[in-house]
A and B are shown apart, each in its own frame.
Chain A
Amino acid sequence: EDKVVQSPLSLVVHEGDTVTLNCSYEVTNFRSLLWYKQEKKAPTFLFMLTSSGIEKKSGRLSSILDKKELFSILNITATQTGDSAVYLCAVGNTNAGKSTFGDGTTLTVKP
């Protein structure tokens, strides 16, 4: 069964700090790894990663995938209070019509 483990479970930082969120996975027939941000309600898509070593970047957020070691990291630089959210990692299986989600990392950014 596909499995996604995120760490840490929660993190409290101050504005301006840089954070690194971790996601490790076990999946047969890996297709992709996705990051989502969940604030009050609906998760919103951040990145989809399919190839090792290629960094995806959007503003202060960036992510990279290591398919050999089966993990991904999500970096957020110069954090702001608006970055406070649950960050979810998911993996897609080429043979399955679903993505398997981890339990998420709750990030709290204090002013």
Chain B
Amino acid sequence: DSGVTQTPKHLITATGQRVTLRCSPRSGDLSVYWYQQSLDQGLQFLIQYYNGEERAKGNILERFSAQQFPDLHSELNLSSLELGDSALYFCASSVEPRGGTEAFFGQGTRLTVV
């Protein structure tokens, strides 16, 4: 168990809908990363928050947004969903703000858009 909790584990929704994925980082970690993993692909970086502030942004679509709350949990909001958004979404946390450090991953949320 990495100590990172993601909910829900699975989500099935229709095109055009909006969903919210939730992540609770490991105790003491201030940095939260969101990654998208499509079938047979590597991890695509979406966005990072550190202590409540956005720190880095990857190729995140405008339909997607995220935030980190004062208690350090984070939410990833996906709207106007398309079939191509079906993927495994991972949250990871680490102590420090910079990349290239050991990160602890949650079990992921499997999103299926039908």
Binding site for B on A (CB under 8 A): 4, 31-34, 36, 41-45, 48, 88, 90-94, 96-104
Contact = CB atoms under 8 A, between A and B. Distances in A.
Q: Tell me the interface secondary structure of chain A in the complex.
A: strand
Contacts of B56: 96-98
22 contacts: A31-B100, A34-B100, A41-B88, A41-B107, A43-B90, A45-B102, A48-B102, A90-B100, A91-B100, A92-B99, A92-B101, A93-B99, A93-B100, A97-B48, A97-B50, A97-B99, A98-B45, A98-B48, A99-B45, A99-B101, A101-B42, A101-B45
B30 to A, nearest CB: 11
B2 interface: yes
A42 B98 CA distance: 21
Given A42-B108, A88-B42, A99 B31 contact: no
Interface string B19-45: 000000000000101010000011111
A42 B2 contact: yes
B42 to A, nearest CB: 4
B101 A48 contact: yes
Interface of B: 2, 4, 31, 33, 35, 41-45, 48, 50, 55-56, 58, 88, 90, 97-108
A90 B94 CA distance: 15
Contacts of B33: 98
Contacts of A96: 56, 98-99
Nearest to A30: B100
B49 to A, nearest CB: 9
Given A31-B99, A101-B42, A101-B45, 18 more contacts: A34-B100, A41-B108, A42-B4, A44-B105, A48-B100, A88-B43, A90-B43, A92-B98, A92-B100, A96-B98, A97-B56, A97-B97, A97-B98, A98-B99, A99-B45, A99-B101, A101-B43, A102-B42
Contacts of B102: 34, 45, 48
Contact of B55 (A4, A42, A97, A103): A97
A53 B56 CA distance: 31
